[in-house]
Structures are given as structure tokens and as C-alpha cells.
Amino acid sequence: MSKHFVPENLPTHLQHYIGGKRVDSIGGETFEVLDPVTNTTYATAASGQKADIDAAVAAATEAFEHGPWPRMKPRARARILNAIADAVEAQEDRLAEMETFDTGLPITQARGQAQRAAENFRFFADLIVAQQDNALKVPGSQLNYVNRKPIGVAGLITPWNTPFMLESWKLAPSIASGCTVVLKPAEFTPLSASLWADIFEEAGLPEGVFNLVNGFGETAGDSLVKHPDVPLISFTGESSTGQLIFRNCAENLKGMSMELGGKSPAVVFADADLDAAIDSTLFGVFSLNGERCTAGSRILVERSIYDEFTERYAERAKNIVVGDPHDPKTQVGALVHPEHYEKVMSYVEIGKSEGRLLAGGGRPENLPEGQEHGSYVAPTVFADVKPDARIFQEEIFGPVVAITPFDDDDEALSLANNTKYGLAAYVWTNDLKRAHNFAQSINAGMVWLNSHNVRDLRTPFGGVKASGLGHEGGYRSIDFYTDQQAVHITLGDVHTPRFGA
């Protein structure tokens, strides 16, 4: 492999950002941050504890109750959101390098993240200016109108896959709505989150609106979720963590938005455009190193084309370029962390007894052995996987796919719905009637017909069953971060029973 690329001016220590200042943990706690290509420590980060979360929530509360942000007119907030988008786009090259270095994602796939993050801010800038609320009239009798107002301090907890872009998904609507925030980024990948403070300062966001506390879920995340002055939690991550957060939010009856795990089916019918389906289902599970919640990690194929599909799919999977994330030719990079690598490899071993291995099944043969040479997994394809297999049922979150045949539409639907998850689904068919009926019968929050994960920001994003709670995207995000207060005005005579008269 070529000499390992390290971005210029890489910080060696990452601090929290609280009330407009970069600070260490009050108790001095730190943790080590690894680079996935060598699995060695490149930086330390301040490790947030309850005291640090308390300080961040106090700063956010002060900014919400006494600062200008929640009281600014939508256009004034939108100007700052657009300035944030400009500042994000200006960081594109640096961000891509940092994101690739910190996550192990291929550089070509990290490149678009700044554009997508910037678009989130532009989109919500437009939305808040165009926002209108209901007025409901009973002529001559009553007028009711909705007074929408930001709820308060939002706790945002984000994952380590495409971290910067997923942080923007929460930061843009929460800030646009007039809330103030405390962000707890994933401990595996805190590097790109450290860019937000400079971006927000440069754009003129008032002090205290944005606060960041690095640290672990068990300490910083737990304290944020349980804090009595944080009425909202937006969480993206794993389903069992989501259940724990749900329990911990109950004490204070907090609002919750949760986008959790997935085991999304890609259903390929015999009448599909097979070339397009193969391209898309390969990209759908092996892009972003397979570390994506909406990955089409179960491919269900109609039996008449099953042999051709599996053969062609496996051949392509063997040709996928695995290697240094900074090499533009790389299609699958290094997994984020040794801990995650062990999890993915344990599923690869389980799969060898649950399916027919057609490609991959371990480290790529052309790369040196050993964790000091990076957490690499060759794109792994299992065929003939039974629906009760663990690799069919459980989220692996890596470059591993299970392929299963079906005989008719009913069996395809039964297999598609046969997991605890329900985030996304992909359907490949040229039969228009079947496409719509099948899509509407799948238990998934989002369905793509004849494409992979191409998203319009106006649409709801979220899952059903173990894949989530609530939806984000478009006005649904604004609804989550605001209270819709009903104000009733009487226009006529009121007839009230006169108790005790």
C-alpha cells in the first residue's frame, strides 16, 4: 500500500465547545481517537462527563431564554443559515480529507458530504421563511390560530458513519426552528465535528446556540438524555441504544426522534432491468464500506433469474477495489474501528455456516494481515441464505450481503417483511401495478422503486418497527423542534352555564 496520507494541520487534541469557548473536561478526562488505516492513536479528545453536559446545557439554556436567536425573524435566521452553508462548502476539500482520515470512508465518497451538509442548511433556511401556520375560523363565533414556537434546548446524538453530514441533518432544522443545541458526536469519529464551531462563529451564529460535548454514550450521552432541562432528544444509531434512550427519556417525558438500525431488503423480480439492479444493489450495500443504516443488505431474487443474478453479482463483488481510503480508485476503505471490525468479522464467520460463500469472506488477499494495517474486509457475498439465519435477521453494518431466492410475489413480500427492522426497501420491477402494490405492502418507512437511496429533502425520513420512532425531513423536522400552541379568540357572545349563580 502507498504511504499513509495524513491531512495537514491535524489537531492532536479535540476540545468541547461550550458557550462560545473551546474547553477541556472539567475533570480533565480524555479518550484516544484512532485512525482506521493504522489503528493507532492520532489525537486525544476531551471526554465529557455529567459536569460538562451540565455546563453545555446551562449555556444553551441561557442562549435560549435570554439570547437573540429564538426571537429573531425567520429571514434574519435564514441569512445566518445560508452563511453557514457557504462556510461548509468552503471547507469541502479539508472536510473530505478529515472525514476519510477519521472514518476510513473512501475519499470519492467523502467528497460529496460537504455539499449535502450545506444543502441541509439552505433547505431549512428556505423552509422557515416560507413557513405558514393554520388559522381556523368559525365565522361570527370564533377564530383560532397556531402560534409556533421553538421548544428549547435540543440534545443531538449522532453516529460515526458519514458523521459530518448526519450532524447537519439534525443541526440545520433544530437551529432553524429557533432551538439551541447540545451535540454529542460519536466517540469513534469526533474529528469533523470539531469544524462546526469555526463554521458557526464565522457565519455569525450567536454564542451559546451551538454547544458540543465529546465523549461516550454511557457518560456524555446518558447525561444529556437524562438532563431535566433538555426537552428533546434526536438520536441516530443502533436499535438497542435507542431502546435504552427511550427508557431514559420516560422520566421527563421528553420528545424523541429516533432513526435506528436496518436490515433493508432489495427485491429483484425477473422482469427488472437486471444490469441496473446489479449496479444498484452492489452500490447499495458496499458503498460507505457497508456502514450505512439504509444498506440493502438482504437481496431477494426471483428464482428464474437467481442463478444468473448471483453469479454476476459475485463476480462484480470480487472486482471491487478495497484499499487505502485516500486513493481515488478505492471503492471500499477501512472499517471505522477494531471493535467494529471484530463484530463484522464475527458475522462473516457465522455466515459461512448459514449460506454459500460466493465472494470475500475475510481480509482482502492483496492487503497485509494484522490490525496495524487497517480494518479491511473484502466485500462478502452469501447466497442461499435461509430467512431464520442470523445474517438474514441481524444488522451487520459492514460490506456483507445475504442473497435469498423467492418463487412468487407473496413469498417475496413475506421474506421482505420478515425481520424486526423496517427502515428502507428497494424494489426492482418494470410492472407498474406490481411496483406500487408491492411497495405499499412492505413494512418500511421508505421504499425506492428501481433506484437506490436517492433522497428528496422534503420527504419524511424514518423507519417503522425496530428502525425508529417519528420522522425527520421537511416540515416534519420543524414540527419536531417546535410547539404548536393553539390560541383561541371568541368573536361572538359566549354562553356559559352559570354554576353557583
Kindly state the cell numbers that stand for 414.
413475506
363 vs 376: CA distance, rounded Å: 6
Residue 399 CA, distance from chain mean position: 18
Residue 269 CA, distance from chain mean position: 29
The whole-number pLDDT of residue 1 equals 46
Q: How far is CA 204 from CA 33, 82, 193, 200, in A?
A: 30, 11, 18, 6
The whole-number pLDDT of residue 391 equals 98
Q: Mean pLDDT per 10-residue run, the chain (501 residues)? A: 81 98 98 96 98 99 98 98 97 96 96 94 98 95 97 98 97 98 98 97 98 98 98 97 96 97 98 98 98 98 98 98 97 98 98 98 93 95 98 98 98 98 98 98 98 93 96 96 98 94 94
The DSSP annotation for 36-97 comes to TTTTEEEEEEE---HHHHHHHHHHHHHHHHHSSGGGS-HHHHHHHHHHHHHHHHHTHHHHHH
The whole-number pLDDT of residue 4 equals 82
Residue of 29, 167, 187, 259 marked active site: 259
Active site residue 259: yes
Pairing of strands 255-259, 468-469: antiparallel
380 vs 400: CA distance, rounded Å: 5
Task: Give this prediction's pTM.
Answer: 0.97
Containing 482, the helix (H) or strand (E) segment is strand 482-490
Kindly state the cell numbers that stand for 316.
462484480
Kindly state the cell numbers that stand for 15.
476540545
438 vs 441: CA distance, rounded Å: 5
Angle value at C-alpha 259, between 183 and 128, nearest 5 degrees: 65
Nearest to 374 by CA among 383, 384, 382, 364: 364
The DSSP annotation for 248-315 comes to HHHTTT-EEEEE-----EEEE-TTS-HHHHHHHHHHHHHGGGG--TT---EEEEEHHHHHHHHHHHHH
- Name 43's bridge partners: 33
Give Cβ neighbours of residue 116 (< 8 Å, ≥ 6 apart): 165, 168
Kindly state the cell numbers that stand for 87.
462556510
233 vs 211: CA distance, rounded Å: 14
